[in-house]
Amino acid sequence: MNVFRPVPIDVIVLYEKVVVDLFIKHQDMLVPFLEKGGVFTRDHLLELHRFGISRIYVRRTDAGTFEEYIHENSDKIINDSTIPGKVKAATFYVSSMHALRKAFEDPNSNQIEVLKNTLKPMFKNIMKNRILLNDLFSITEHDFNTYTHSVNVGIFATALAIHFYTNDRALGMEELERLTYGYFLHDIGKCKIPKSILSKRGNLDDHEWAIMKKHPEFGYTILMETGHLTDEAAYISMQHHERPNGSGYPFGMTDIHPCARICAIADIFDALTSERPYKKPMKPFDAIEIIKTEAITEFDNNLLSTFIRMLGPHEEVIRLSQATG
C-alpha cells in the first residue's frame, strides 16, 4: 500500500523534468498527474490553479529523492530577487525539511552545519522583506510528523522572535539568526527515541511517556557536543517543554530562558492545530485559549499578544486580540 506526502505546487521548477511521479487529489482519491521524467510546464501550473489545487502528492518512498532535488536547487531560488516570495517559501520549506531529516538521521556537526547553511539565506531574505513570513505561514503543512512539526515550529518561533525583539537594539540580526537554528532543532533529541514510540497511533503508556520525556535532555547533549551552535540553541532544546508554574519537563523548572518560552508557544500552537491519526486539528482560536492558561507571567502574556498580532489581520485573529484584551 502506497503512502503519500503532500508538497506545495510552488516548489516544482518550471520546464524541468520531475524526478518522481506526481499525483493530485480528485474526489478524495489520488490520481497520477505527471510521470517521473515528464517536464512540468506553465500549462500544468495553470491547470492546477484553475482547479484550485495548491498541493500535489509524492509517494513517501520518493520523498527523499524529491527533497534532495529541491535542496540542491534551493540556494539559487531563494537568492534570486526575481522569484516570487511564495515560491521561495515553498522551496525553503522542502529544503529545510530535507536538511532536518538528515540531521535527525545522523546528528553530527557536519549535518548541523548543512542545516545552518540551509536556514541562513531564508533568514536574511526575511530580514530584508518581512512579507516573506506570511508566505511561510501559508505554506506550513499540518499533517503532524517529526519533520513537518520541527519546520513549522522553526518558522513560527523565528517569526515570533523577530516580531517580539524588533525594537530591541540589544539583540541584533546575528543573535536572532543563531536563535533560528535552535528553533528548527528544538526536537533533535527525538532522534534518540524509538520509532515505535514516535509513530504510535494514540496515547503513550506510562513507560513510553517516560522515555519520550527524555528527548529534551538528549537534544541538549547533542547540540552541546556538536559545538556548532550557541548555548541558547541547547537551552531551547532542553527547556521548550518546561512551564512557568513548574509543571513541565524534564526538570520542572520555573526559571526558563526567554528563547525557550518563545519556542514553547510555537510548539504548543503547531501541535494543537495539526492533524494526527487520533485527533482532528484544533482551530487557532481554541489553541490560543489553551496557550493562554499557561501564560502566567507578564513576559509570556506579551509574547502571546505578539504571536496573535503576528498571525495576521484575519477575523479570527481579531477575536483573539479582543479575547486577550
Helices 298-310 and 258-273 sit at what angle, rounded to 10 degrees? Answer: 50
| pTM (2 d.p.) | 0.86
Higher local confidence (pLDDT), 261 or 27? 261
Is residue 6 over pLDDT 70?
A: yes
Per DSSP, helices labelled H in the chain are 42-50, 63-78, 85-105, 109-128, 131-139, 146-164, 173-184, 195-198, 206-212, 215-226, 231-239, 258-273, 284-294, 298-310, 315-323
pLDDT tens digits, one per residue of 19-50: 999 999 988 889 999 999 999 999 999 999 99
Lowest mean pLDDT among 7-16, 49-58, 135-144: 135-144
What is the share, in percent, of the chain residues with pLDDT greater than 90? Answer: 48
pLDDT of residue 277: 66
DSSP assignment of 95-130, as one string?
HHHHHHHHHHHS-SHHHHHHHHHHHHHHHHHHHH-T
First-to-last C-alpha distance (Å) of the chain: 50
Q: Which three cell numbers stand for residue 74?
A: 534551493
Domains of the chain in start order, with CATH, are 1-60 (no CATH), 79-323 (1.10.3210.10)
Mean pLDDT of the chain: 87
Q: Are the C-beta atoms of residues 21 and 4 closer than 8 Å to each other?
A: no
Q: Per-residue pLDDT averaged across 125-146, rounded?
A: 80
pLDDT of residue 86: 86
pLDDT classification of 312: cutoffs 50, 70, 90: low
pLDDT of residue 191: 94
pLDDT tens digits, one per residue of 213-250: 999 999 999 999 887 788 889 999 999 999 988 999 99
